[in-house]
Structure 1
């Protein structure tokens, strides 16, 4: 039995597995970028990098493998983690079924049909924002909208980098707010808050940023001449599952029930309209489940490893160091925002960044009485801000690849798009202002967080962990 582990003394070296994960993931991306590989930061699977880090954590525990595994399993089997994993696969199934029955294409075409061409740039931002919010995927939104939007923008004499920037910005708006986005799921479950509370708080920060962006795009994004979009087919009923899921989630229905209703509603519409059969419906549900493999295993491994890091004193050491620069509630919020931003830059994956920093952010929130609903909001906002801007992020790389594919050349690079990421830059500014001028907090002020109850609940959990550790040893 290791006394240091029992006492959980602060131990900076215990963070080495997490640092190793970032070094492997970031290092592989940089090395492949130098070699000129496409999507370089996504060639070395994040799950493999995390698996290596987990193995190192086992070696560092200096205990029999069986005892170390009990610690790992305690973290991986945490109720919040299991809830997160179930929501991931249900969200994946809903997105897959809704897209397969034609819902995604109908959403894009319906938006483009009703938006006048002279307002196309702002319209693309709005369509992307709705699509991202409805589907919960920024990558899917970019992949669906950019091929259409770039063609129309080119005919209308619009700046193509401006249009692509508007599309990515709208997609990140949706990724940030969507009830079924993996970033929302990770942020809310890691901080143990309700999705609707985080949405309401987030909305009052993201919405002003979106309005300012729309005004900017209306002023600078008018085409030189109007271009005809031609005939775009859509079916309003195929958009219905997205709207139902959004509305049910906002009124507070249990997220498992919301997603299950969405899956079967999309399936029924698809079967009734001939886009799906019972068998293809079942196949798409399974495809949706397996499509979440990466984030599923990454979360599982990270949760288990985080428990091991905490037992070795890594989290206590990090909090001890953060205390030196965090003097109060506001500086703690700035610290959380900087932490998630740096980790997202290192991992180039906003969900990974939230999973990695979630437990640390929760501890900081408890220490400085930052409302966990605000912490969840900050984690989601700043991870999405950086994810949309970094030139090696999947969203930016995918958008540029689609743009160059349309142009039939390699004319454009991520650096051509970054200056036009108006929404992301504006969102970051509005979010920082909201820390010092809490205009968005009015939506949670009427229901203040019960710190006494929350801490008591945490103490109960801590006592249970102590009992389990005592049995293990």
Structure 2
């Protein structure tokens, strides 16, 4: 017979996974896949001990994987995009013009702002990182800027737009689940996100001030520009391919067909513009592009992409979601969340608990969307009972859920960034300034009361009646 899982038993799979992760990743410097498998096994044993049959546990894992399937499809398409765009000379062209136009000292600010503008226009951090971010990594590394810094700036910019754009799925999800008007929700996020972006840009300005002062860096940039011209046909017309993909997404064309068009155009560019064989273009799609050059730096930069390069990322996403599926659908996650609610005594502790719950869900269920869905349904009534407007909850969900997903290496966002930008979460974490400073600002507001909007007594009663009716029918 199934019973509600005790919180102490619910903690065990998470504890086992974290210990295994620390040992495997930090001590033995191995991949995080096996620790996630160990965590999944521990979760299955706990669920079994509480009366769940193996068939039911299997179904929980499959449900978890199903939640990640859209992300897995995008991850594979991004691998194909990188391979075709490098082979087609698109990435080389973006790097070439980037090196000629942007100075090393202003690069971090520039790439953060560009990513912010693009993601604001298209509402997708992943599409932004998979296009502008990939080129930005190439440009920045060519300038001698450390990859984790570049990745942090790209992520900060991309997630600013993802959080603030009315086209963003997470923005619409947070506002919809809390029954908050979309533009009321976005306007309320200005108070945490705009200061967060300004602080991030200030840090990037400081970090970048000394880049480009070394004469050898200028020589390396000049050599890279020359080698790009030798190995690729460079043309501004090739920039139309990423611009078209961005325009399609901005026009609300779904990400999958938009990326597919970009892949097809990259493939054609490799065959027609670069003059490679169809065999070489197909190899770039499957196993990544291979450049023949004596420039070791350029070879390391451009020998990448392809479907095969994303299989590490895909397998980690699948395993992570089996772990998250058992925690979510067995009720273990709910037990952990209920424990969090017990410490709620004030507005400050309520919002702090919401932020913590979002991060905990990101860490346990490995999916950004779940980090918004689960806490939203758990905290909605509590916010109303304490007389707080729903936009306080919707903002906290985004501050704690959308932004912190990048810090969990086994979260779908963390694995996507590793596969796309080639930088591990532990490496870029100190430089993803926006993503960790916004939750801090949100906490400050929570305990000071600044920008925390209250309900009138009449509004509170009306919403409670509505919530009662929803619970009765749903």
Normalising TM by the smaller chain, what interval?
Answer: 0.5 to 0.7
5+ unaligned residues in a row in structure 1: which ranges?
33-39, 151-159, 388-392, 401-413, 440-449, 463-473
Aligned to 1:149: 143
Aligned to 2:109: 125
SS in 1 for 2:338: helix
d(CA) in 1 for partners of 2:279 and 2:131?
A: 25
TM-score (ref. length: structure 1): 0.62
SS in 1 for 2:252: coil
Say whether the 8 Å CA contact 1:125–1:166 is kept in structure 2. no
Evaluate the alpha carbon distance shift between residue 301 and residue 201 of structure 1 in structure 2; reply closer, same or farther with a 3 A threshold: farther
Evaluate the alpha carbon distance shift between residue 358 and residue 85 of structure 1 in structure 2; reply closer, same or farther with a 3 A threshold: farther
d(CA) in 1 for partners of 2:89 and 2:467?
A: 44
For each residue in 1:282-336, what CA deviation from the matched residue of structure 2 results, as whole angstroms up to 9, or x when unmatched? Answer: 3333344333323433333333333333444312211211212345777555334
Say whether the 8 Å CA contact 2:324–2:366 is kept in structure 1. no
Aligned to 2:62: 73
For each residue in 1:231-270, what CA deviation from the matched residue of structure 2 results, as whole angstroms up to 9, or x when unmatched? Answer: 7355333333333333322332222222222222322333
Aligned to 2:86: 99
Aligned to 2:2: 3
For each residue in 1:399-434, what CA deviation from the matched residue of structure 2 results, as whole angstroms up to 9, or x when unmatched? Answer: 89xxxxxxxxxxxxx89x96x876667555556578
d(CA) in 1 for partners of 2:143 and 2:194?
A: 23
d(CA) in 1 for partners of 2:79 and 2:351?
A: 31
SS in 2 for 1:3: coil
Residue 35 (structure 2) pairs with residue 17 (structure 1):
no
Aligned to 2:120: none
Aligned to 2:255: 255
Residue 24 (structure 2) pairs with residue 28 (structure 1):
yes
Q: CA RMSD in A?
A: 5.1
SS in 1 for 2:253: coil
Say whether the 8 Å CA contact 2:358–2:401 is kept in structure 1. yes
Say whether the 8 Å CA contact 2:95–2:136 is kept in structure 1. no
Evaluate the alpha carbon distance shift between residue 56 and residue 216 of structure 1 in structure 2; reply closer, same or farther with a 3 A threshold: closer
Say whether the 8 Å CA contact 1:137–1:171 is kept in structure 2. no
Say whether the 8 Å CA contact 1:72–1:307 is kept in structure 2. yes
Aligned to 1:299: 317
d(CA) in 2 for partners of 1:456 and 1:136?
A: 43
Residue 339 (structure 2) pairs with residue 321 (structure 1):
yes
d(CA) in 2 for partners of 1:206 and 1:107?
A: 29
d(CA) in 2 for partners of 1:51 and 1:192?
A: 34
Aligned to 1:88: 75
SS in 1 for 2:143: helix
Q: 1:60 aligns with which of 43, 46, 69?
A: 46
Offset of residue 385 of structure 1: 6.9
Offset of residue 47 of structure 1: 2.0
Evaluate the alpha carbon distance shift between residue 140 and residue 454 of structure 1 in structure 2; reply closer, same or farther with a 3 A threshold: farther
Evaluate the alpha carbon distance shift between residue 209 and residue 258 of structure 1 in structure 2; reply closer, same or farther with a 3 A threshold: same
Evaluate the alpha carbon distance shift between residue 373 and residue 206 of structure 1 in structure 2; reply closer, same or farther with a 3 A threshold: closer
Evaluate the alpha carbon distance shift between residue 264 and residue 206 of structure 1 in structure 2; reply closer, same or farther with a 3 A threshold: farther
d(CA) in 1 for partners of 2:403 and 2:324?
A: 23
d(CA) in 1 for partners of 2:91 and 2:13?
A: 40
Evaluate the alpha carbon distance shift between residue 332 and residue 141 of structure 1 in structure 2; reply closer, same or farther with a 3 A threshold: farther
Q: 1:173 aligns with which of 149, 153, 156?
A: 156
User: What does 1:296-445 align with in structure 2 at a 5 Å threshold?
Assistant: 296-326=314-344, 331-338=349-356, 352=366, 354=368, 360-364=374-378, 366=380, 368=383, 375-376=397-398, 378-384=400-406
d(CA) in 1 for partners of 2:188 and 2:253?
A: 19
Offset of residue 95 of structure 1: 2.9
Evaluate the alpha carbon distance shift between residue 59 and residue 209 of structure 1 in structure 2; reply closer, same or farther with a 3 A threshold: closer
Offset of residue 121 of structure 1: 1.8
For each residue in 1:46-78, what CA deviation from the matched residue of structure 2 results, as whole angstroms up to 9, or x when unmatched? Answer: 22221222223333333543343233323333x
Aligned to 1:268: 268
Evaluate the alpha carbon distance shift between residue 168 and residue 203 of structure 1 in structure 2; reply closer, same or farther with a 3 A threshold: farther
Evaluate the alpha carbon distance shift between residue 285 and residue 202 of structure 1 in structure 2; reply closer, same or farther with a 3 A threshold: farther
Offset of residue 452 of structure 1: 11
Say whether the 8 Å CA contact 1:341–1:382 is kept in structure 2. yes
Residue 114 (structure 2) pairs with residue 114 (structure 1):
no
d(CA) in 2 for partners of 1:341 and 1:68?
A: 24
